[in-house]
């Protein structure tokens, strides 16, 4: 019988653009205010890419940091997966642009589209590749340039999102000896497909002057519906990940940074104290697929990931989709 290959997170990295956009920016263009945004979302500011700065540029910075922290060279990579809904192009994948720039000549590369659940989905995919013996070194990235898809005439969605990238290098646990991925989960409910979407630009409704004039190429969110779904699913994913483990072993929950109130409600269900929850939504807003890996890397840098303790990743997003991971750090 072949030996089961355990998988570890060998290194992480992240990047956010320099341009800080505070809530006052939206006061000038929408009927909104700083107090409403802070109270209803927990967001104080977010980052937007500069003109000429692309999603793949952010991927590269985060990826290089993760590779350095893992002690892995680009040539050693077998696979690069980029989770994004805002890649540089509709085609080719952003992963191929990253592969070229890194000089990762031996890596396969593709993108994953699972919106805010994207990074955790890609992490589970990378884990499966290594566990099955098909890859040894996998680079997983979550990155978004959502500022390019904001409808600045819609106060219900424009204030929510920000840009950034986070990355992780996965290896057999026997090689890196770090952060073992104990389990992952994945789910979808396509019934809710139209709660977060971009109506045009796909094959059903290709972009025309008319679709652009109607702002159909920009993000639309049914906030109330997503809110209800999010509290329920985020709580459920956390429960699933912790099932069979003692809460005393929990080091940190790293949730998708969607809304402070959603995070609070989800962790309250499990009576998890606030100091065991990583939150940086105040600084970056919702960076979709980038939110969990940025938060994970910042938690690591801040010394909040204790050796031997459990780390839970919990995300959900458009699709509707959800994904979770349990890691023993
Ligand atoms: O990662 C997945 C993508 N993220 C999401 O889908 C977001 C999930 N949803 C949420 O975070 C929250 O539902 C929102 C922050 C979007 C909205 O918060 P809420 O507490 O659910 O507000 P609401 O939609 O129930 O709206 C309450 C009021 C409405 O006014 P009326 O109808 O009561 O007069 C909205 O029009 O707040 C109004 N409103 C705003 N007011 C000031 C909505 N957006 C704003 C705004 N500024 N930016």
Domains of the chain, CATH where assigned: 7-177 (3.40.47.10), 181-328 (3.40.47.10)
Q: Give strand ranges (E) for the chain.
A: 7-15, 19-22, 45-48, 79-83, 108-112, 138-145, 163-172, 180-188, 196-197, 220-221, 250-255, 310-317, 321-328
| 93 ligand 1 Cβ < 6 A | no
| 41 ligand 1 Cβ < 6 A | yes
What integer pLDDT is reported at residue 3 of this predicted model?
Answer: 76
Distance 231 CA to ligand 1 centre (A): 15
pTM value surpassing 0.95: yes
Query: Which residue out of 23, 59, 69, 116 is catalytically annotated?
Result: 116
Low-confidence ranges of the chain (pLDDT < 50): none
Distance 162 CA to ligand 1 centre (A): 17
What integer pLDDT is reported at residue 1 of this predicted model?
Answer: 55
Q: What one-character-per-residue DSSP string does 44-107 give? A: SEEEEPPTT--HHHHHHHHHHHHHHHHT--GGG-SEEEEE-SS-S-SSS-HHHHHHHHHT-TT-
- The fraction of the chain above a pLDDT of 70, given in percent, is 99
Distance 156 CA to ligand 1 centre (A): 5
Distance 137 CA to ligand 1 centre (A): 42
Pocket test for ligand 1, best of 222, 224, 230, 320 (most atoms within 8 A of CB): 224
Active site residue 286: yes
- In order of 24, 128, 147, 229, 310, the CA distances from 242 in angstroms are 40, 20, 35, 20, 9
Closest by CA position to 234, among listed 216, 206, 260, 208: 260
pLDDT in tens, 236-287: 999 999 999 999 999 999 999 999 999 999 999 899 999 999 999 999 999 9
Distance 224 CA to ligand 1 centre (A): 7
pLDDT in tens, 60-77: 999 999 999 999 999 999
Pocket test for ligand 1, best of 41, 118, 154, 227 (most atoms within 8 A of CB): 227
> What is the number of alpha carbons within 13 Å of residue 158 lying toward its C-beta?
20
Query: Could you check whether the bond before residue 102 is cis, i.e. omega within 30 degrees of 0?
Result: no
- In order of 43, 112, 147, the CA distances from 152 in angstroms are 17, 27, 10
- In order of 231, 262, 264, 273, 277, the CA distances from 268 in angstroms are 10, 10, 6, 8, 11
What integer pLDDT is reported at residue 2 of this predicted model?
Answer: 66
Active site residue 270: no
Ligand 1 atom at shortest distance from the alpha carbon of 159: 48
Mark 253-285 as b/e (b = at least 16 C-beta within 10 Å).
bbbbbbbbebbebbbeeeebeeebbbbbbebbb
Ligand 1 atom at shortest distance from the alpha carbon of 258: 1
Active site residue 256: yes
Give the integer Cα–Cα distance in Å for 162 and 257.
11
């Amino acid at each position: 019988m072949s030996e089961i290959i355990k998988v570890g997170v060998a290194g992480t990295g992240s990047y956010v653009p320099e341009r800080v956009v505070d809530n006052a920016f939206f006061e000038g263009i929408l009927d909104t205010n700083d107090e409403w945004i802070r109270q209803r979302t927990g967001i104080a500011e977010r980052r937007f890419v500069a003109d000429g700065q692309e999603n793949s540029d952010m991927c590269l910075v985060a990826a290089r940091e993760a590779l350095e922290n893992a002690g892995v060279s680009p040539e050693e990579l077998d696979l690069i997966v980029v989770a994004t809904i805002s890649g540089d192009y509709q085609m080719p994948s952003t992963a191929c642009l990253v592969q070229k720039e890194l000089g990762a000549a031996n890596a396969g590369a593709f993108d994953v589209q699972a919106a805010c659940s994207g990074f955790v989905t890609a992490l589970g995919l990378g884990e499966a590749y290594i566990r099955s013996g098909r890859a040894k070194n996998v680079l997983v990235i979550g990155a978004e340039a959502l500022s390019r898809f904001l409808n600045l005439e819609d106060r219900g969605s424009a204030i929510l999102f920000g840009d950034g990238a986070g990355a992780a290098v996965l290896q057999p646990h026997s090689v890196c000896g770090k952060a073992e991925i104990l389990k992952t989960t994945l789910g979808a409910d396509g019934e809710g497909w139209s709660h977060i979407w971009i109506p045009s630009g796909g094959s059903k409704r290709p972009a025309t002057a008319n679709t652009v004039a109607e702002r159909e190429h920009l993000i639309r969110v049914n906030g109330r519906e997503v809110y209800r779904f999010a509290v329920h699913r985020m709580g459920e994913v956390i429960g699933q990940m912790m099932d069979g483990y003692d809460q005393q072993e929990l080091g940190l929950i790293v949730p998708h940074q969607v809304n402070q109130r959603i995070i609070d409600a989800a962790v309250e269900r499990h009576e998890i104290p606030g100091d065991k929850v990583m939150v940086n939504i105040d600084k970056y807003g919702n960076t979709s697929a980038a939110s969990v890996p940025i938060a994970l890397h910042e938690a690591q840098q801040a010394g909040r990931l204790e050796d031997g303790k459990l780390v839970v990743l919990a995300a959900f997003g458009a699709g509707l989709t959800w994904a979770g991971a349990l890691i023993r750090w």
